[in-house]
Chain A
Amino acid sequence: EDQVTQSPEALRLQEGESSSLNCSYTVSGLRGLFWYRQDPGKGPEFLFTLYSAGEEKEKERLKATLTKKESFLHITAPKPEDSATYLCAVQATGGFKTIFGAGTRLFVKA
């Protein structure tokens, strides 16, 4: 069964304190792994798609990496405006359905 587990559930950082969010996944065949950002009261907003192990993508202070079993979202020198819930999701080959993890709530204090 396809499954996505994110850790930690919540993460509190000081401004400038770098850290990583983890996404462990089990999927029959990976078509793509996605990272989304969700602000309170809003819909998820797309950040990255990763397709194969070893792939990395960056956007401002965020960098996403992928292995055969995990993905990491690295946050370098975070700012308070990075506070949000970060969602990881996978889509299997040959299918349409996207499986989401429960998310990591990130709080960055000034």
Chain B
Amino acid sequence: NAGVTQTPKFQVLKTGQSMTLQCAQDMNHEYMSWYRQDPGMGLRLIHYSVGAGITDQGEVPNGYNVSRSTTEDFPLRLLSAAPSQTSVYFCASQDRGQETQYFGPGTRLLVL
């Protein structure tokens, strides 16, 4: 099993550009989440999904969109990038009935 994979590993954007961060898992987990991690702060939940076709907002959803058309994939879309979105983004998956989250390796995003 590859676990949770994320692409790209690193991306530079200009203010106003849009992009999609990809996340995929091969563990057949129902739950998936997106977090951002900033220096001196804990991981903050952006959006999450409890199953295909079901998504909800987390703590810091503004400026981001998600969709969940399959169990395996959970892409995160930045609609119009801003410097405040410079961060490291982590995707995580979790099996129903279990509390353990499995994290991907992260995407480092720099918005100029």
Contact = CB atoms under 8 A, between A and B. Distances in A.
A34 B42 contact: no
Interface stretch (B12-20, B65-73, B75-83, B103-111): B103-111
Nearest to B103: A43
Interface residues of B, number: 24
From B41, B90, B99, name the one whose CB has the most chain A CB atoms within 10 angstroms: B99
A43 B101 CA distance: 11
Which label, helix, strand, loop or mixed, suits the secondary structure of the B interface? strand
A98 interface: yes
A87 B35 CA distance: 14
Given A42-B106, A43-B106, A87-B43, A97 B59 contact: yes
Which label, helix, strand, loop or mixed, suits the secondary structure of the A interface? strand
Given A32-B99, A97-B48, A97-B59, A43 B42 contact: no
Contacts of A49: 99-100
Interface in A1-57: 4, 31-32, 34, 36, 41-46, 49
A44 B88 CA distance: 12
A44 B103 contact: yes
B31 interface: yes
Contacts of A42: 105-106
Nearest to A51: B99
A42 B108 CA distance: 11
Interface of A: 4, 31-32, 34, 36, 41-46, 49, 87, 89, 91, 96-103
